[in-house]
A and B are shown apart, each in its own frame.
Chain A
Amino acid sequence: MTQQPDDILALDHLGKTFRVGFWGKKVQAVRDVSLTLKRGESLGYLGPNGSGKTTSIKCILSLIQPTSGKIRLFGADPSDATARARVGYLPEAPYFYDYLKPTEVLDYVGKLYGLDSATRKKRIPYLLDRLGLAHAMDRELRGFSKGMLQRVGIAQSLLSDPDLLIYDEPLSGLDPIGRKEVRELMAELRREGKSMFFSSHVLTDIETLCDAVCILDRGEVVAQGRLSDLLRMDKLESEALVDLPTDGQDAATTRLLAVAGVELMEQTGAMLRLRLPTDAVPGLTAAVVDVHATLRELSQRRESLEELFVQRAVHVSTDGQRTVPASRSA
């Protein structure tokens, strides 16, 4: 993979194998992951638990060393502290020194970034105020709720005004109001031109906040690309509501379902809810006329990220068959 000047993060066939247990059994957590993130872009990193998201993020931040492949962060190796200086990182369920106050945590982090005292004094109260922590500035973190800790985590990630934000599950464990606030904050940061790389289980949030996604399953990329391309890739679908005629409802139903690609989603009395590929719409409308039914509603629906995720994040069993795990097929 050749890195373009606009790429601020590039993973090139990244792989990570751990040795676990007494006998050092090999477990491949990440295999052959390649992706790029361009300046100003927002990339959602998705995958079920244990799919290798956090391992990849730890590789990007040089917390663990990849077994194979290469990572370029702002054109440099992640072990280069200067490259990491341009990154703001929020770990999953962030833990900070619980004996410190938010101001002290940020002051410590500010010193690590080499921010001078005057800047720290100005910027720390500003960020804490903006994140709704002004009232808790002088309280030790040990008394903070998960949501408040998450805000401290976000504040410390923004302290150095980084170009790239790497957030690991930024919305997990937050109550609905907290999630809404963090989502709005992330949207705001995105509008300001920050590049974002974040993992999440909340697919609707990814759909609203990201330009592109990369879906992992068991350490492998199963889908990747711009959201608009991915969600169109498997054709647009349509949904139709049809009122059956008073007489000959069974025959009419049989005729309608005989149209290629039409599937019955639901039947309520004389009303059918049908799903069909968009290119089957003319065939369905002709059949509706034939059986003297009424087409009450016809809407085009795009595949949701959730559907794509369930469809792609399937497991490959030993006999080579791909199966949706029970927990996700419901």
Chain B
Amino acid sequence: MSIQTTHKKLTLRIDGPLAALGRISAVAGNTLREAGRNKLFFGLLGVTILMLVFSILLSDLALADQKIRLVTDFGLAVIPLVCIATAVLLGAVLLYKEIDRKTLYAILPKPIRRGEFLLGKFLGLSVLLFGQLVVLTVCWAGVLYLRGGSFSLALAQALGLSYVEILLVTSAALFFSALSRPVLSGVLTMGVFLIGRITYVINDLMQATKGVFAEVPAMRALGRVLVALVPDLSTFNIADELQAGVALPPDYFVHATLYGLSWVGFFVALSLLVFERRDLV
């Protein structure tokens, strides 16, 4: 066996933002391809579609004027939750799998910066989750149509904010995945999600004149820490306002999106810091 390498030197495009973008998209593409072969992902997608279809049958049990509302509530509750569950399950193993299977050792010695690799992984998973959200939304819109309802702009805005929440949870999963093993990173990400969803409750309890958060200084301090460290995810949940017909100020969506993306930026930056310094033994 003999091999001939090229006599004319190959042109490698390493420097510049376009080259970096090319590497990030290559990693994102591979992440997408890997997740696209994940049975868990498709299982979850299939079960959720079945649940959405099943909501037609469920709505038959409701009063005549509540049928559309039931399908709407069901979709608004289930779709973001399933996407967040996917983000936690896939995000928690995002980096660990690469290290555990040693695939990372063949990739990182190439002319790719660790930050680019991390961003590629995050981007790939974000695109996958967006695809999941779109597929489920289309199914849900079909179910709504069959039930006599329609998919409104308000519903699209609600799901848009849900996607910001999904991105936020994904970025938290990415950070914990860069720090720890899958089970721990999954638990920590779920912790951020659950506390984030009830941050407003903790806030209310701290402002009350009675109760454990108001009366016990240690609990008050804990409450303060939780509120400061965990993003308020209720910002992205506007289902109640939609159902109550409460009109949200037009700049609410912009502010909520910016708030969410700031947290995404924070978690991604922390992940970069951790991953850049990590020894890949």
Contact = CB atoms under 8 A, between A and B. Distances in A.
A85 B30 contact: no
B102 A185 contact: no
Interface string A216-232: 00000000000000000
A61 B128 CA distance: 31
Given A111-B23, A189-B3, A192-B5, A62 B109 contact: yes
A161 B6 contact: yes
B103 A97 contact: yes
A316 interface: no
Contact of B5 (A111, A131, A158, A181): A158
Interface residues of A, number: 48
Given A81-B113, A184-B2, A185-B3, A113 B101 contact: no
Interface string B1-38: 11111100111111100010011001001100110010
A119 interface: yes
In this complex, the member of B19, B111, B280 whose beta carbon has the largest number of chain A beta carbons within 10 angstroms is B111
Contacts of B103: 95-97
Given A96-B103, A99-B33, A113 B110 contact: yes
A194 B101 CA distance: 30
In this complex, the member of A82, A113, A132 whose beta carbon has the largest number of chain B beta carbons within 10 angstroms is A113
B112 interface: yes
B106 interface: yes
A64 B277 CA distance: 8
B1 A184 contact: yes
A94 B101 CA distance: 10
A293 to B, nearest CB: 51
Contacts of A127: 3
A58 interface: yes
B109 A108 contact: no
A305 B133 CA distance: 62
B158 to A, nearest CB: 35
Contacts of A192: 4-5
A87 interface: yes
B108 interface: yes
Given A63-B105, A91-B105, A115-B10, A109 B5 contact: no
A99 B39 CA distance: 13
Contact of A18 (B9, B30, B112, B281): B281
A285 interface: no
B279 A81 contact: no
A81 B106 contact: no
A96 B33 CA distance: 14
B230 to A, nearest CB: 29
Contacts of A109: 107, 110
Interface string A67-108: 000000000000001101101010101111101100000001
B12 A64 contact: no
Interface in B258-281: 277, 279-281
Given A63-B105, A112-B107, A114-B22, A130 B112 contact: no
Interface in B84-106: 101-103, 105-106
A14 to B, nearest CB: 14
Interface in A52-68: 58, 61-65
Contacts of B4: 130, 192
A160 interface: yes
A116 interface: yes
A324 to B, nearest CB: 29
Nearest to A158: B5
B95 to A, nearest CB: 14
17 contacts: A18-B279, A58-B281, A63-B279, A64-B280, A84-B111, A87-B109, A108-B30, A109-B107, A113-B14, A114-B14, A114-B19, A114-B111, A130-B1, A161-B5, A166-B109, A185-B2, A185-B3
Given A89-B110, A161-B6, 11 more contacts: A82-B15, A91-B105, A111-B22, A112-B110, A114-B14, A115-B10, A160-B12, A161-B5, A161-B9, A166-B109, A188-B2
Interface of A: 18, 58, 61-65, 81-82, 84-85, 87, 89, 91, 93-97, 99-100, 108-109, 111-116, 119, 123, 127, 130-132, 153, 156, 158, 160-161, 166, 181, 184-185, 188-189, 192, 194
Interface of B: 1-6, 9-15, 19, 22-23, 26, 29-30, 33-34, 37, 101-103, 105-113, 277, 279-281
